[in-house]
Amino acid sequence: MNLDGARVLITGSSIGIGAATAALLKERGARVFLNGRDADRLAGAMEELGLPGHRADVGKREEAIALVEAARGALGGIDVLINNAGWGRRMPLGEVDAEVMHAIWETNVLGVVHTTQAALEDLERAKGAIVNIASTAALRGYAGGTAYCSSKFALRGLTECWRAELRPRDIRVLLVNPSEVQTCFFGGDPDRELDPRKLHAEDIAHAIGGALEMDDRGFIPELSVFATNPFPAG
């Protein structure tokens, strides 16, 4: 895909991987539309990146539909949908809170479904691409990961289903699995000094951009990104 002029909607793009991806794709000529749940944070990203956006919680179907309509109105259509919105919480099995787990699934799984359904006609007209941002937590579980890992395993499964369904309609469906990235995802300080040995949001943005730029006759179905050696020296 030639990113110059491509119309891209990125959910969860007011900070972290989403914002870094928006910045990189803009540099490569794409027209990008931002999204976030926090109105103030989204407004800051829109000002900093010089891009339009719309506040919405994609886990709510009506809000996801309104987001896609806003992006379509601003861009004139959607060629690429990057489903990046997501969150998680570590909870040991004995402390799993059903309401929290439901909320995680609502965003991480149903939010992807709602947004993609709303954008599907645009993507089919454009012979476009869907990029679902999962995690290496979609590949293996860890202690305390019941809610988050189960949502990402589900995202990986639905991505495989969509890939089988949409390839005959010339839509490419990609899954990106970042390992631990230094963002505020689990409550970290976004302004803290970053460890140069661990992944930065820009690393994932680079992977997404590179995958999208492959000629449309082929695509990378799944891509995992690990830090080479994030372990303390010694």
What's the rounded Cα separation, in Å, for the pair 105 and 87? 9
Q: Is 189 exposed, middle or buried (0-12, 13-18, 19+ CB in 10 A)?
A: exposed
The one catalytic residue in 148, 153, 162, 185 is: 148
- Secondary structure class of 39 (helix, strand, coil): helix
Residue 69: CB atoms within 10 Å: 13
Residue 2: CB atoms within 10 Å: 12
Name beta bridge partners: 178: 225
Residue carrying structure tokens 């954008």: 119
Does 142 qualify as catalytic in the annotation?
no
Catalytic residues: 148
